[in-house]
Amino acid sequence: MSATVAGRSVSGEGREQHAGAPADGAAVPRRTLVLLFCSLMLAMLLASLNNTLLSSAVPTIVGELRGVEHMSWVITSFILASTIVMPIYGKLSDLFGRRPLLVTAILLFMAGSVIGALAQSIEVLVVARVVQGLGGGGLMILSQAAIADVVPARERGKYMGIMGGVFAFSSVAGPLLGGWLTEGPGWRWVFWFNLPLGLAALLGAIFLLRLPKRRRHDARVDLLGMIVLAAATTAIVLVSIWGGTTLAWNSPVLIALLGAGVLFAALFALVERRASEPIMPLAMFRDRNFVLTTIASLVIGIAMFGVLGYLPTYLQVETGIGAAAAGLLMIPMMGCLLTTSIVTGQIVSRTGRYKLMPLIGTIVLAAGLVGLSFIGVDTPVWVVCVALGVIGTGIGASNQILTLIVQNAFPNAMVGTATAANNYFRQVGATLGSAVVGALFASRLADRLSDRLPADGAVGDTSSFTPLVIAQLPEPIHSIVLEAYNSALLPVYLWIAPLVLLGFVAVLFVVERPLATTVDAERPEDEGHVNSLAVTHPELDGMPATGAVPVTDASARSRAERVGGGKERAVAPRRRPPGRATHRTAGAESERASCGRDAHTAPTRGGADCGGTGGQAPSAREGGRPPRATASERAD
């Protein structure tokens, strides 16, 4: 037998599903789910492949467009735009649905690709990258949030693992494909290449992305919050990118930017406290798991992009190989990341246990960074590849599982917002990681070269050193430069390892809440814009439908609705003081009937309006038994 609670079917075993959903808890049939997942993978591939494609083409592009002095903006503009819009996409998708926002993001990205392909100046190219960033910032976020709309958290791990593998694939295939396009048809095809891929993603989003409808006609968009967040993010990202490279750390401009970032961040917190639909609700930061996983994601981002940003160049210098071959040497890292991401996702889906994975991942990542820091000039290349493989294994065991933990901490109506906020801080961490490692590397390299190279200037301007120039230097100058590169960069990773251990400590205090086995079917418009807590008990079978009790605490919802250990079982309601009943009793129904209230309307304060105090349903142990519904009641 089963009772219907708030438009959902609750089985006698306590399993809850949306009315009309398949009995296995999945929101869509498997064939439809596979097609939907493929369309999301195309969107993720479009975003992740773009930057790696461009990395091989940037030197050629800026040379042809005569904009070498603006080369950094080709990358910076995309990072800045995509970081700013991440939280915006997440919140708007919670309010108005994933598909319209995903279609918008794909169209923006394709428009930016067309502008870039037709660019005749570096300024137009930078504009194109901004437009691409406005679309790219939504592609990853919306793909991760959309899968949460149709796949329960318990099953979502295996899908998230495959999504994490897309980035690993792009990191290897992108530079190779970008180099081939640049040397063959020309660098403009790096942008034209996005159009067929974008068109496939667009068609998939339109025709395959069948998600639950989600529209809030009365929602007030937090425009002021968007503006203030954009200002704060711009200041923070520019400080991290320019600090120690374009501008000195004590530069008045950099200090002013830093002050502006702090000021706008404080102002953003004040704005969000007053907003009816905040872009980044401050209530999220009261959730323990969200805060801890965000800290872990940030430090992992620092380590990951600190390695990806500078190790390929180091490998070119130390081994004398070309850029494409150096990219191939990163395959162990990305291959291990891909494999581990998929395997850990499968393990989480089968066992329902997830906390151990990022704990192991952060330890392995820290060990890989320590091993990398002790590599010397004469160390065989295969040892470097082993260290990179260890680093990839640690990242693969952590990244996507941390996103899953964040999604599991909030109801479906907040999944987009929470996922976007987590990715936002991860992106900021990635930017900071690249900036910090780059600044330390540049300053340490300059000091070592000035100390060890002859003072007569026979080697020329060291700031113009490229891997090709260094490979042609005579001995002993060549060996001195190699040693300087090695001692300037690799020990920095030893300093990052304790930061990764901070992520381990953060994950250590994560509360391993049971993963939901069904998709949360509430919509923001239901129950007066609050989530509904559906409580089931074996003794309630056969009782008439009565609605649901509004509960605003997400953690209370997860405690009541979620199941653990992979077994579906009823979750008995917690006892509460009189006047704060969590479910209706037969006596409460009688009180409402005597007061002339609709029995399908949730009572306030357990019937206190009628002078009653509410209470708990008598349990079988106490000898009580709820009356069975009559035929007329069941018909109602």
The model's pLDDT over 46-102, given as tens digits with 9 standing for 90+, comes to: 888 877 778 777 777 877 887 766 767 787 788 888 989 999 999 998 888 888 999
pLDDT at 363: 96
Query: Residue 395: pLDDT above 80?
Result: yes
Burial class (CB in 10 A: 0-12, 13-18, 19+), 367: middle
CATH topology of domain 29-214: Growth Hormone; Chain: A; (1.20.1250)
Same fold, 29-214 and 280-516: yes
Question: Which pLDDT does position 468 carry in this prediction?
Answer: 72
57-71, 277-291, 357-371, 526-540: which has the minimum mean pLDDT? Answer: 526-540
For residue 366, the model assigns a pLDDT of 95
Is the pLDDT at 1 greater than 80? The verdict is: no
pLDDT category at 28 given cuts 50, 70, 90 is low
525, 413 Cβ separation under 8 angstroms: no
Q: Vertex 235, ends 231 and 238: CA angle to 5°?
A: 135
pLDDT at position 370, please?
Answer: 94
Would you list the domain boundaries of the chain?
Answer: 29-214, 222-276, 280-516
- Given this model, what pLDDT does residue 212 score? 64
Q: For 400-446, what is each residue's pLDDT tens digit?
A: 899 999 989 888 888 889 999 988 988 887 777 777 787 788 778 88
Segment 353-369 shows an average pLDDT of 94
Task: Please indicate whether residue 83 or residue 461 has the higher confidence score (pLDDT).
Answer: 83
> Are 341 and 350 contacting, i.e. CB atoms less than 8 angstroms apart?
no
Give the pairing of strands 16-18 and 532-533: unpaired
What tens digit of pLDDT does each residue of 556-577 get? 444 444 433 344 444 444 444 4
What is the CB-side half-sphere exposure of residue 167 using CA atoms within 13 A? Answer: 20
The rounded mean pLDDT for the chain is 75
| pLDDT band with cut points at 50, 70 and 90 for residue 228 | very high
- Residues near 583 by beta carbon (within 8 Å), at least 6 away in sequence: 535, 537, 540, 549, 573, 617
**What pLDDT does 18 receive?**
37
For the cut 70, the answer to whether the pLDDT of residue 119 exceeds it is yes
pLDDT of residue 317: 81
Q: What single letter denotes the amino acid at residue 427?
A: Q
Residues 6 or more apart in contact with residue 618 via CB below 8 angstroms: 585, 624, 625, 626
CA distance 124 to 118: 9
- pLDDT for 61: 82
Give the pLDDT score at 456: 62
Do 32 and 153 contact (CB within 8 A), yes or no?
no
Architecture of domain 280-516: Up-down Bundle (1.20)
CB 544 within 8 A of CB 1: no
Position 593 pLDDT exceeds 80:
no
126: nearest Cα among 170, 71, 89: 71
Kindly tell me if the per-residue pLDDT of 359 is higher than 50.
yes
The conformation of residue 18, written as its DSSP 8-state character, comes to: E
Determine the pLDDT at residue 596: 41
The structure tokens 């009641």 sit at 633
pLDDT at 455: 67
